[in-house]
Amino acid sequence: MSIFDLSAPDISAWRAGNTGVEGVWHFDSGASGEPVLISALIHGNELCGAWALKGLLEAGLRPQRGSLTLMLCNLAAFDRFDPQDPDAARFVEQDLNRQWVPERIQAADTLERRRAAALAPFVQRANWLLDLHSMHEPGAPLLLTGVHQRNLDLAQGLHTPEHIVIDSGHSDGVRMRDFGRFGEPDHVAPETRSLLLECGFHGALSSRTVAQDMCVRFLQQAGALDAAALDAALPGWRQPDAPRQWALTVDGAVVARSERFAFVQPFTGLELIEKAGTVIGHHDGPGQGEAAVTPYDDCVLVMPSTRQARAGVTVVRFARRQALD
């Protein structure tokens, strides 16, 4: 297991929220503008977003236009966090980021589904959503846009990170990024924007820096605050632009059949595999069972990880790479 250099933030002062829902803060400028939502801790072991939201709250940041909602999502999972066993704090009963369809939310039959029901009204009222995450394994930050052009355009306008992932989501449930209007086509919900940022490895100090930088950029792009106000309130948060950006269009994946799936080598993500048919793993343990192979030449591996491997869980995605102007 990689070392956790990033400690869990003390969010006790901010836990209650100001909305009547634990962990949810809402600030309205009184001026016209976008309703913006920034969320963290969808998974309780993804600390970078909690650090960023704590920083926004400690700075007393308030929108100049529109409204700003800050949401600390799975507090029950976060309470279980132990750097010696971080995976145990990902969720309590179910992955909160696979529950965002009405029938699962309305079922209210697990802790995470009940929490989704409490959070859903705030998500539904937002037009702009930034969901802050981190990754099981060390790797470069990734900005996941979904398949809508409006989100890809926003990702390019943010000028970071270097790698933008265009993906349709998971086979085992719907992410908050795609909930309700956020999942609608461009012509149906042109007013919405939703991005999921993977800030790097859960325990890397750099993941906090990535989250802070993106908060500043996102709030500026949404028109919630001017650049000068953001930089004055949050000195040191803004980082240099990425030198370039690549679009990684996901068009396939390997879904584990059991916890025995194993890669042939310790992939970390963004590897470019030159030849179609290259074996990258096996379904029944090292060298055992059916092989998982790349489906085409010049295939990029996106977020490979067996840390949560079990039947139905995606262990790696396949993508085609294109340079963006």
In order of their start, the domains of the chain are 12-233 (3.40.630.10), 250-323 (2.40.50)
What are the beta bridge partners of residue 300?
272, 319
Which of 210-245 are b and which e, b meaning 16 or more Cβ less than 10 Å from the residue's Cβ? bbbbbbbbbbbbbbbbeeebbeebbeebbeeebeeb
Please count the helices (runs of H) and the strands (runs of E) in the chain. 7, 14
pLDDT at 184: 97
Q: How many Å apart are CA 57 and CA 24, to the nearest integer?
A: 11
pLDDT in tens, the chain (325 residues): 578 999 999 999 999 999 999 999 999 999 999 999 999 999 999 999 999 999 999 999 999 999 999 999 999 999 999 999 999 999 999 999 999 999 999 999 999 999 999 999 999 999 999 999 999 889 999 999 999 999 999 999 999 999 999 998 777 799 999 999 999 999 999 999 999 999 999 999 999 999 999 999 999 999 999 999 999 999 999 999 999 999 999 999 999 999 999 999 999 999 999 999 999 999 999 999 999 999 999 999 999 999 889 998 899 999 999 999 8
Asked whether 223 and 66 are in contact (CB, 8 A), the reply is yes
Q: How many Å apart are CA 121 and CA 14, to the nearest integer?
A: 20
Looking only at the bridges linking them, the beta strands covering 193-201 and 299-302 are unpaired
Helix spans in the chain (H): 47-58, 75-78, 102-107, 111-125, 149-158, 205-222, 227-233
- Enumerate residues 6+ apart whose C-beta is below 8 A from 288: 260, 262, 282
The pTM score is 0.94
Q: Which of 21, 113, 166, 252 is nearest to 37 (CA)?
A: 21
SS3 213: helix
Q: How many Å apart are CA 216 and CA 48, to the nearest integer?
A: 14
Task: Retrieve residue 133's tokens.
Answer: 């995450």
Phi, psi (rounded to 5 degrees) for 59: -75, -10
